[in-house]
Structure 1
Amino acid sequence: MNEIRAISLFVRTATLGSLRKAAIEQGVTPQAASLAVSQLEKHLGIRLFHRTTRQISLTDEGRRFLESVQPPLEALNDAMHGARHADLATGPLRVTAPRSLGYSVLWPLFEAFAQAHPDVQLDIQLEDRLQDWVAERIDVGFRAGEQPDGRIIARRVLPIQLIVCASPGYLARHGAPATIDDLASHRCTGYLQPNTGKVAPWEFQVGDDIVYRDVPPSICMNDPDLETRAVLAGLGIGQLGSFTAVPLIRAARLVPVLLPHTVQRIAMYLCYTRRAQMPKRVRLFIDFMMERLQASTEWHLTEEELRAGRPARRRKQRGS
């Protein structure tokens, strides 16, 4: 006996007051429906219906059984309907990203996706700590750094350059360093790494090698956005991520220095766990973000800008 089919026939018979109508609705013959209900009664050891040649009505036991099974059966039907329509772009979508990337690079795209797909409920988690994506039910995450390990799928979406830069005011007062060694005579900012609490060394491209230097900071902080503010305020020269620095450089609020030594070894990655059946809302979000991020040069210097040493300024709109 198919218990779920039998219970469903019982509930519809009780609701419609007709075994024949319930059979037609369920796509079976009246004889098959009658047999299924009889088998259910035998299986339960109770009589569910009073039957005459003209009508059918619930027994007291049948009424109690109906009250017990109707809510879970409706929940099961809702779940089955949801699973059959899982290919629609609806439902919750949990996304995680580092705070600095979330505020500067990703928020305009999150906003655009939410407007394009209003039936998807975005749950955005801005976290700098490493998360357990399975335990925290993360659908898609963004990471900055080196290629993540093979336990997750990681797709490179943006290069991240480490650009040494200063405010025009600082350079007017102190001049620009011509070499890496010249930084020793300048005020510089420092970034405290969240995992160690130590000041991160600066990185420089020297020929084919990446050289690390401990640059003594005049001011240090554990927040990339705060370090950017310090450089903008003229408190020192800083080495900033391109996703933060490049818009400010193109707006002439910061000036890059030592451009030939700019490092490009890390990137931003869009990551997700392996899934045999990925919901459509997740696939749509991944495609949406990949298309826009990979086509953008807003957040890094182009090869032409690096070679020329003069990043292009963004033209102002007329009337602005």
Structure 2
Amino acid sequence: MNLLGAISSFTQVVEAGSIAGAARTLGISAAAVSQNVARLEAHLGSRLLSRTTRSMALTDSGALYYQQVRHIHRDLERAHQAVATAGEPQGRLCVATTSAFGRHVLAPLIPGFKARYPKLTLEIISTDRRVNHLQEAIDVSLRIKPQLEDRLVARLIARVPFIFCAAPAYLAQAGWPQTPEDLKQHACLVFRYPVDGRFLRWGFIRDGVRFDAPLNASMISDDIDVLAQMAVHGGGITRLADFVAQPFIDSGQLVALFDDASRNSAYAEPEPMEVYACVTDHSALTAKTRAFIDYVQDCYGRSRTGLEG
């Protein structure tokens, strides 16, 4: 019996919550996962999982065993990486990223990263839902500040300017807001954070003091590109990261607001979006994760924001 393989199947079943989920993570069939767990139970002489047609749960013995072995697979992978990547990073690297950052920033960078480290196999999970590093075998996630969790180690890699913008036709009809406080008189196209349903606040900084602009949420979406298209077609004012907004501004489809400190004495600077690279703990900063984080910061973070490593 491949004991390590059986232990890996068992821990993945527990963390995924099902045999099918473990099979997807491990890249093997559900039948193989089930057989591995059965062989492990036979080897130990104790049932680890209580299984019915509708549910599955750890037995007392299974819970005790899981606590002792749950880090074995990860520790072996890190030990392998410590030796194998003394030269070149290799193996699987799974990255989770917010949808907009993944689509507009990360996707164009990934081919260059793959060319630099050809022995890596890359998987990109692009989503705004809450992800779990352990259950989904994620090596590193790229998150904005509202997504940070205390249990993760986070490193700031980029500050991305936010641009408030609207279509020329909308501004001609509704007028041009002079201060953030004027936004309450306008149709605001707002992003709803899909994890908990909150609106992402529109932050500004004036004279060193941060504040949230009042919002008249006229249209709402959980997709930044949908908000951009609503704005382009005259729906109102929205707030977009510069990598989303700039092409529309360059083409004249959108006009940037609050971008000139000389307009009035009540000028306030839009608060930037902070992007963090997150790992489960410091031991998860393997050669391949460090290479990826450094690459993204080199290509985007330092060149656009002046961040130092």
Instruction: Specify if TM > 0.5.
Output: yes
* Residue correspondences, number: 220
Q: What is the Cα deviation at residue 203 of structure 1?
A: 2.5
**Against the structure 1 CA distance between its residues 84 and 195, is the aligned structure 2 distance closer, same or farther, given a 3 Å change threshold?**
closer
Tell me the amino acid that sits aligned with residue 85 of structure 1. A
Residue aligning to 1:240: 240
The whole-number CA distance in structure 2 between the counterparts of 1:212 and 1:265 is 13
Residue aligning to 1:18: none
Tell me the amino acid that sits aligned with residue 84 of structure 2. H
Residue aligning to 1:228: 228
Tell me the amino acid that sits aligned with residue 302 of structure 2. A
The equivalences for 1:148-227 within 5 A come to 148=148, 151-227=151-227
Contact 2:203 2:271 in 1 (8 A): no
Residue aligning to 1:144: 144
Residue aligning to 2:292: 285
Deviating more after overlay: 144-153 vs 91-100: 144-153
Residue aligning to 2:302: 295
SS at match of 2:217: coil
Residue aligning to 2:84: 85
**Against the structure 1 CA distance between its residues 159 and 147, is the aligned structure 2 distance closer, same or farther, given a 3 Å change threshold?**
farther
User: So what's the TM-score if we normalise by structure 1?
Assistant: 0.60
SS at match of 1:194: coil
Q: What is the Cα deviation at residue 256 of structure 1?
A: 1.5
Matched, 1:268 2:275: yes
Show CA shifts across 1:195-240 (max 9, x none): 3334444333233322224422222222111111111222111122
User: So what's the TM-score if we normalise by structure 2?
Assistant: 0.61
Which runs of 5 or more structure 2 residues have no equivalent in the other structure? 1-78, 260-266
The whole-number CA distance in structure 2 between the counterparts of 1:241 and 1:114 is 26
**Against the structure 1 CA distance between its residues 96 and 82, is the aligned structure 2 distance closer, same or farther, given a 3 Å change threshold?**
closer
The whole-number CA distance in structure 1 between the counterparts of 2:183 and 2:132 is 40
The whole-number CA distance in structure 2 between the counterparts of 1:231 and 1:159 is 23
Contact 1:162 1:262 in 2 (8 A): no
SS at match of 1:157: strand
Residue aligning to 2:134: 134
Contact 1:165 1:256 in 2 (8 A): yes
**Against the structure 1 CA distance between its residues 167 and 134, is the aligned structure 2 distance closer, same or farther, given a 3 Å change threshold?**
same
The whole-number CA distance in structure 2 between the counterparts of 1:85 and 1:200 is 42
- RMSD after superposition: 3.0
